[in-house]
Structure 1
Amino acid sequence: MKVLILHQHFNTPQKGGALRSYYLAKALVDQGIQTIVITGNNEAQQRVEHVDGIEVHYLPIAYLNKFGFYKRSGSFLKYIFQSVNTASKFKDIDVCYAISVPLTIGLAALWIRQRLGIRYIFEVGDLWPDAPIQVGVIKNYFFKQFLYSLERIIYQQAASVVALSPMIKAAIEKKTPGKRVHLLPNMADTDFYHPEEKDVQLEEKYSVKGKFVVSYMGAVGFANGLDYYLECARNSQKAALPIHFFLCGDGAMANRLRESAKRIQLNNFTFIPFTNRAGIRELMNITDASFICYKALPILETGSPNKYFDGLAAGKLIVTNFGGWIKEEIEQRGCGFFTDPKHPTDFTKKIQPYLTDSALLKQSQQKSRALAEEKYSREKLSIAFADIIRSEKRS
């Protein structure tokens, strides 16, 4: 069997960033399925690499988190044309697996289906165009209607759809009644991340010995609403709480957040540049609580952020400032808490029991790890993904 994966933002463990598409491709390779990935990179030339048995075609298409709307759109359009052209070189592809975002990946999958006769499965990690519309990036009425029409066509023409969260699955089933929709959440790499005692040398390296550490690790974009995270740090500083905050990542809002932190004179806050997976594991070692942050928009409550699953795997207290299925899950499982996005002082109130009761903190952290192993382990979900791919070949 031969599978083609389309994902413009494919990352490897050595590079860092979100690794879902790597995990999926590796799952197929481990099951003896030949796997080809077409992705983009910021280099000037097209190249091919073999990564852990995966044949990866890197297209010369620049993309950075700090790109504005029009520059991002140009990058997305380039990927459509170049990925389809590259796909036409392969023979005997059984299934194409197209990973959004953006929604335009679906155009490439549609074109491959029509031009090459290859059926496709469409993966939905964020509901497009709902997300950019609610965030306010897309405002033109006619463009909105065009994107909604495109969304319906992509779902209808897909052999099936994969949703990353229960809320996304329900939304797709409502938009496209009768369509087969699989639920396959992000994976917790329980082999790479482990609950562990804090390394004294790392505590000294980051100057946090004796501190309770809260970390945000991920994209630093407009939708992440990290002004709230800074406000949590400011209120903790005012309350003289023994907490240190880390923000590790990069994106369009990074410089503005640095300026804000300097202006309000935070001395309990550290920025760490984007790093690879080994760097994240190092930061995880000294972290007590993993913070998952978004702007207060309903559409952002449907997502399945990688940082949530990394925090679970590493056995961390989970803190969120948004509603939806993750809020419900951490509250039901006792592995974290919700802090009101309208009131940063809510964080300082709710975190205090964990500062004074180490047994309570340990209990919540253990529940995080148990949830990762039980429901989201990479091993279990890899098998489920391979089964989805095989089922589409048979159908």
Structure 2
Amino acid sequence: MKIIYLHQYFNTPNMPGGTRSYEMARRLVAKGHEVHMVTSWREADGRTQWFQTQEDGIVVHWLPVAYSNHMSYSQRIRAFFRFALRAAQKAVSLRGDIVFATSTPLTIALPAVFAARRNSLPMVFEVRDLWPELPIAMGALRNPVLRWVARRLERWAYRHSESVVALSPGMRDGVVAAGYASGRVAVIPNSADNDFFQSTSASGARVFRQQRTWLGERPLLVYTGTFGRINGVSYLVELAARLRVIAPDIRVLLVGDGQEVEQIRSRAVAAGVLGDNLFIEGQVAKREIPALLAAADMTCSLFIDLPEMRANSANKFFDGLAAAKPIFLNYGGWQADLVEACGCGVVAWNKSLDDVAALVARCLHDRAWLESAGKAAQVLARESFDRDVLALQLERVLLDARDWRGEGASATAAGDYFSPVSKAPVEPENLTRGSQLP
């Protein structure tokens, strides 16, 4: 099967950021499929035209379109449409057997539907966030006309899809609420790259710690990722200020970049924690994350408190599981329910900062709890979110979508089809539990 895979922000392990599309695509290649990735090249290196590379068997078509989290919302929207227009032409020229498009942004549906209709191909659409609800909640879409257009685009994308892949149960519910048949939505969450994260040796973690004189053998809480408005990383500055008083040996490390990095740095200076118990380092390639998390005692996944974000399927959460580390969350939703159910971390949602600081201090000083919670995280990663298993489920969705079209079945005629993916990927009552919080 020749798969035309559209993802505007595709990353390889040599780049910073999530690698879901890379990991899924290379597994599809290993199964004998031909995968063409249509994506953007975000580096300002003077390139202006399409170029092509091979990444572990994936044929990647790169279009230079500048983008970063430092851009304003209007600049980002222009980048979305600039890519969509050029990607439509490229996707049509590649032909193939099926079009698979993954958001965000939602505008990826434009080239996907265009290519699918022009070449009479089936299309599968993957939903990574609740768009347009999320940008509306963030204030990025304030114009009522643009909101109307975004909601129409969402429904239009679903209407032209044989199946929809949602990254969480909450996203599935959002797709169904938009009028799409529930039986044709497959829940395939973000996944744990277990072998990738477990390949790091203990010596690699020791080297990481030894290279930082401020760290040594002290307890370490780590955040890796984007410093954007939605991530709310300044929460850790406030937490560090309280930990400095009650547990001054604990170190907080923030690794990444984004629109709010300088604001966070300024807040840390004002709070007196920068260079004391809180440290900031620049973003790193995904291949460097395993050693970083191996050196951590607890990892973080953060978002500002928006109801729309509780359905998220953050890479950081699954990376922490794969690294067999306890996870700290400051938001509610299905991931928080899993953490509490299996005892693999700390949920700060709806707790005061003073209470959270006290809880984090107790956990990071309790070696037995850290070991038990880490083991529970590893069990959850292997039994419920293993990338190899979930990639097979994605392959099944794509094959079934292709076969519908091959048999002349319309999307409507497909009825209440549901892929082998469980509607609820994991049930809390079936989890292996770690220790209770200290």
- TM-score strictly above 0.5: yes
Work out the CA distance in 2 between the residues paired with 1:49 and 1:218: 26
Whether 1:94 aligns to 2:97 is: yes
Segment drifting more, 173-182 vs 8-17: 173-182
CA distance 1:349–1:265, change in 2 (3 Å): same
Match of 1:296 in 2: 305
Q: What letter corresponds to residue 61 of structure 1 in structure 2?
A: V
> Residue 175 in 1 paired to residue 178 in 2?
yes
Q: Distance in 2 between matches of 1:114 and 1:181?
A: 21
2:209 paired residue among 193, 203, 213: 203
Q: In structure 2, how many angstroms separate the alpha carbons of the residues matched to 1:9 and 1:337?
A: 31
Q: Distance in 2 between matches of 1:103 and 1:346?
A: 39
Deviations along 1:232-285, whole A, 9 cap, x unmatched?
Answer: 111101223421011111111111111111222211111111101232122112
1:161-310 → structure 2 map (5 Å cutoff): 161-179=164-182, 180-194=184-198, 197=202, 199-207=205-213, 208-266=215-273, 267-310=276-319
Match of 2:421 in 1: none
Distance in 1, matches of 2:248 and 2:269, equals: 19
If the length of structure 2 is used for normalisation, what is the TM-score?
0.87
Letter in 1 for 2:67: Y
Letter in 1 for 2:321: L
Give SS of 2:190's match: coil
Q: Deviations over 1:63-107 (max 9, x none)?
A: 11111111101110011111111112223x111110100111112
Instruction: Measure, in 2, the Cα distance between the counterparts of 1:40 and 1:196.
Output: 34
* Alpha-carbon distance in 2 for matches of 1:326, 1:196: 28
Query: More displaced, 59-68 or 305-314?
Result: 59-68
Identity %: 31
In structure 1, C-alpha distance between the alignment counterparts of 2:227 and 2:350, rounded to whole Å: 17
Assess if the C-alpha contact under 8 Å between 1:217 and 1:249 holds in 2.
yes
**2:2 and 2:306 mapped to 1: Cα distance?**
40
Q: Is contact 1:123-1:161 (8 Å) kept?
A: yes
1:291-329 Cα deviation digits (max 9, x unpaired): 111001000111100010000000111110100000001
Render the CA deviation track for 1:121-168: whole Å, top value 9, x for unaligned.
110010100001111111122221221121111111111100000111
Q: Which amino acid aligns with 1:175?
A: A
Task: Name 1:83's counterpart in structure 2.
Answer: 87
- What does 1:38-57 correspond to in 2, within 5 Å? 38-42=38-42, 43=45, 44-45=47-48, 46-57=50-61
Instruction: Select the residue among 52, 57, 63 that pairs with 1:59.
Output: 63
Contact 2:125/2:158 (8 A) holds in 1: yes
Code of the aligned partner of 1:73: I
TM-score by length of 1: 0.96
Three-state SS of the structure 2 residue aligned to 1:270 is: strand
Partner of 2:35: 35
1:120 to 123, 128, 137: 123
Structure 2 CA distance for aligned equivalents of residues 220 and 105 of structure 1: 24
2:412 maps to: none
The residue matched to 1:88 in structure 2 has which SS? helix
Coordinate RMSD, CA, aligned = 1.5
Q: Is the CA contact 1:289–1:319 (under 8 Å) kept in the aligned structure 2?
A: yes
Q: Distance in 2 between matches of 1:226 and 1:341?
A: 17
Counterparts of 1:230 and 1:40, CA distance in 2: 33
Aligned-partner SS, 1:222: coil
| Equivalenced residues, count | 394
Q: Distance in 1 between matches of 2:126 and 2:144?
A: 26
Aligned to 1:356: 365
SS in 2 for 1:216: strand
The residue type paired with residue 399 of structure 2 is R
- Identify which range, 343-352 or 26-35, moves more after superposition: 343-352
Task: Give me the whole-angstrom Cα distance separating, in 2, the residues matched to 1:348 and 1:20.
Answer: 33
1:375-386 matched pairs, under 5 angstroms: 375-386=384-395
- Counterpart of 1:56, as a letter, is V
